[in-house]
Amino acid sequence: MNLRLGASDPVVVAAFRAALIHQGIVALLIFLLVSAVWAGARGRLAPLPGAGKAVGGAAAWGAEPAGRRLLRIGFGLLWIFDGLLQAQPAMAAGLPSQVIEPTAASSPPWVQHVVEWGAATWSYHPIQAGAAAVWIQVGIGIWLMAASEGPWSRLAGLASAGWGLVVWVFGESFGGIFAPGLTWLFGAPGAAGCYCAAGALVALPERYWRSPRLGRAMLAVLGVFFAGMAVLQAWPGRGFWQGTERGHPGTLAGITASMAQTAQPGFLAAWVRAFTSFDQAHGFAVNLFAVIVPAAAGLVLLAARLLHDARPAVLRVTLVFLAAACLADWVLIEDLGFFGGLGTDPNSMIPLLLLAVAGYLALAAAPAAARAGATAPAPAAAAPAGATAPVLAAAVGPAVRAGWRDRFRPGALRRAIGAASARSVISAAAVGVILLGAVPMAAAQASRTAGPIVAGSISGLGAR
């Protein structure tokens, strides 16, 4: 990563903007083309006799669990928002030198080597890499929100976990977990780590979400995390107990003071500066609160199984209190995380809250779903497989019965496309948008020489 470009280099910014516009037109054409093909195939497909009742009965019984829906929609919106942040003009040239390198600087040498290897692609090909990050993240977000069930939804979860892992390793230097000064106040273990966890949970078969065991496991893992963060926050010698140290701001006050200098709305900067002054005057009390909150939350979440049966109000109150503390941290310490022109995400507090609430919903909703299943009438309206098989066979014709090769014949493909749901069509278009970003990034990864735009900008040719 020896190439040095200014974040506002006019050549790179103009090329990045042009690439986003051109690829945005292609992304729109992908959605239009997929929709046109689906509409054309659907117009020639006769409706299945009795299919509406069968599907309706299945949908009534197989509604998506609330915890899974929260993760899918919540992180889908976050991915779309992160993709839009990646389209900021300074992102293409400024991300390696002003975000990735400073994040890795305090990590061990082996972490720096890994990050530098991955970030070299961005440094040499900022236009392709910057645009690719936009479309990959927007595509994953649309895919997560569109696909609510079935293989499409689980694959969207896997895509979210996979790309989140890439961002966590190369963009966040493993979430900073190997660097000194690790604290939950500044975003440990990294927002992208939460994206990975959420994607993996969405990728699980839905039967796991219909048992309280998944909710207990999620809350237990979060309990261990918060308890561990409380121990780290209480550890002496890390500068968090002092508001000022030898006339200089302590660890927390120093970081919030620098955050207040970020370009942002004036009232937010004033809030952060006010908190900085408060921490400098009452550093011990602030850190004591920052220890008690994760410690108490960790203990309650570890005992969530017992509390949910004996005292469910305690668990709910703890989650509300944790949410209030996390939101206060998000505003006053993390400073929302996305201002300044190079913010890549809203940091970790919102993703952590989504995981905690989803775990509670999985724990609380699974017994209710089990009781509803026990009292539900026999699924006569759901049309047993034996009863619907003749109808489906008649609808798709001999193509399915003849073998997999016949399924790729034009008639069979037309029937399969026409029978797809609108969610599946949007998911397919979202995959196309992801490929729109992933293919150029993979091609750039194969080249370790600077692109002509970067080389010209460094040599000054681009300004002539």
Please give the average per-residue pLDDT across 250-269, as a whole number: 93
Please indicate whether residue 165 or residue 5 has the higher confidence score (pLDDT): 165
316 plus 229 within the same structural domain: yes
Whether a cis peptide bond, with omega within 30° of 0, leads into 189 is yes
28 plus 143 within the same structural domain: yes
What pLDDT score was predicted for residue 316? 94
11 plus 151 within the same structural domain: yes
Please give the average per-residue pLDDT across 88-101, as a whole number: 90
Which of 368, 387, 422 represents a domain boundary (last residue)? 368
251 plus 172 within the same structural domain: no
101 plus 18 within the same structural domain: yes
Asked if residue 244 has pLDDT above 50, the reply is yes
Q: Is residue 203 part of a domain?
A: no
Which of 319, 352, 368 represents a domain boundary (last residue)? 368
Q: Is residue 391 part of a domain?
A: no
Percent of the chain whose pLDDT exceeds 90: 63
Q: Is residue 240 part of a domain?
A: yes
Q: Which amino acid is at 360?
A: Y
Q: Is residue 378 part of a domain?
A: no
Confidence of residue 407 (pLDDT cuts 50, 70, 90): low
Number of domains in the chain: 2
Q: Is residue 377 part of a domain?
A: no
430 plus 356 within the same structural domain: no
Domain extent, residue 436, equals 1-45+63-182+398-464
314 plus 404 within the same structural domain: no
Q: What b/e sequence results for 126-153 when a residue is b if at least 16 CB atoms lie within 10 Å of its CB, and e otherwise? A: bbbbbbbbbbbbbbbbbbbbbbbbeebb
Asked if residue 350 has pLDDT above 60, the reply is yes
Q: Is residue 188 part of a domain?
A: no
Which of 368, 387, 416 represents a domain boundary (last residue)? 368
Q: Nearest 5°: phi and psi at 319? A: -65, -40
428 plus 312 within the same structural domain: no
Asked if residue 379 has pLDDT above 50, the reply is no
Q: 2-6, 63-67, 68-72 — which is least confidently predicted?
A: 2-6
Asked if residue 190 has pLDDT above 80, the reply is yes
What pLDDT score was predicted for residue 230? 97
Q: How far, in Å, are 268, 397, 403 from residue 36 at the CA level?
A: 46, 24, 28
What pLDDT score was predicted for residue 44? 66
Please indicate whether residue 462 or residue 107 has the higher confidence score (pLDDT): 107
Asked if residue 9 has pLDDT above 70, the reply is yes
Please give the average per-residue pLDDT across 244-252, as a whole number: 88
Q: Is residue 294 part of a domain?
A: yes
Please indicate whether residue 240 or residue 53 has the higher confidence score (pLDDT): 240
359 plus 463 within the same structural domain: no
Please give the average per-residue pLDDT across 43-71, as a whole number: 63
Q: How far, in Å, are 250, 381, 419 from residue 392 at the CA level?
A: 69, 16, 11
Q: Is residue 384 part of a domain?
A: no
Contacts 24+ apart (CB under 8 A), 406-414: 414/41, 414/44, 414/45
158 plus 221 within the same structural domain: no
Please indicate whether residue 79 or residue 370 has the higher confidence score (pLDDT): 79
9 plus 151 within the same structural domain: yes
Three-state SS annotation for the chain: CCCCCCCCCHHHHHHHHHHHHHHHHHHHHHHHHHHHHHHHHHHCCCCCCCHHHHHHHHHHHCCCCHHHHHHHHHHHHHHHHHHHHHCCCCHHHHHHHHHHHHHHHCCCHHHHHHHHHHHHHHHHCHHHHHHHHHHHHHHHHHHHHHCCCHHHHHHHHHHHHHHHHHHHHHHCCHHHCCCCCCCHHHCCCCHHHHHHHHHHHHHCCHHHHCCHHHHHHHHHHHHHHHHHHHHHHHCCCCCCCCCEECCEECHHHHHHHHHCCCCCCHHHHHHHHHHHHHHHHCHHHHHHHHHHHHHHHHHHHHCHHHHHHHCHHHHHHHHHHHHHHHHHHHHHCCCCCCCCCCCCCCCCHHHHHHHHHHHHHHHHHHHHHHHHHHHCCCCCCCCCHHHHHHHHHHHHCHHHHHCCHHHHCHHHHHHHHHHCCHHHHHHHHHHHHHHHHHHHHHHHHCCCCCCHHHHHHHHCHHHC
Please indicate whether residue 266 or residue 447 has the higher confidence score (pLDDT): 266
Asked if residue 303 has pLDDT above 70, the reply is yes
Please indicate whether residue 454 or residue 134 has the higher confidence score (pLDDT): 134
What pLDDT score was predicted for residue 412? 67
How far apart (Å, rounded) are the C-alpha atoms in residues 429 and 433? 6
40 plus 86 within the same structural domain: yes
